[in-house]
Amino acid sequence: MKRVHYNVARLVNEEMKTEVKNVLDKEDGVQMVNIDLGRGSIEVGYNESINEDKIKECIEQVGCIIRS
């Protein structure tokens, strides 16, 4: 399993945390999602069925902004 970690802005409450988790859980290939509201970070475990661009797209679709 590959893992990717993002620091994000606009991850502000439990509702948004749930939205991010739900949208990622629906994607084939996503195996694990850890979200830390306090740090504004998202860690995703995935396999070759999905790529990082699609993971980023899902996170941004909910309204989060991925920091460089």
- In sequence order, the β-bridge partners of residue 43 are 5, 34
Determine the structural domain holding residue 46 and report its residue range. 2-66
Residues 14-57 pLDDT 10s: 999 999 999 999 999 999 999 999 999 999 999 999 999 999 99
CATH number at residue 11: 3.30.70.100
pTM of the entire predicted model: 0.93
Question: How many separate domains does the chain show?
Answer: 1
Owner of token pair 């739900």: 22
Residue 9 has pLDDT above 80, yes or no: yes
pLDDT of 68: 76
Owner of token pair 């309204």: 63
Burial of 24 (0-12, 13-18, 19+ CB in 10 A): buried
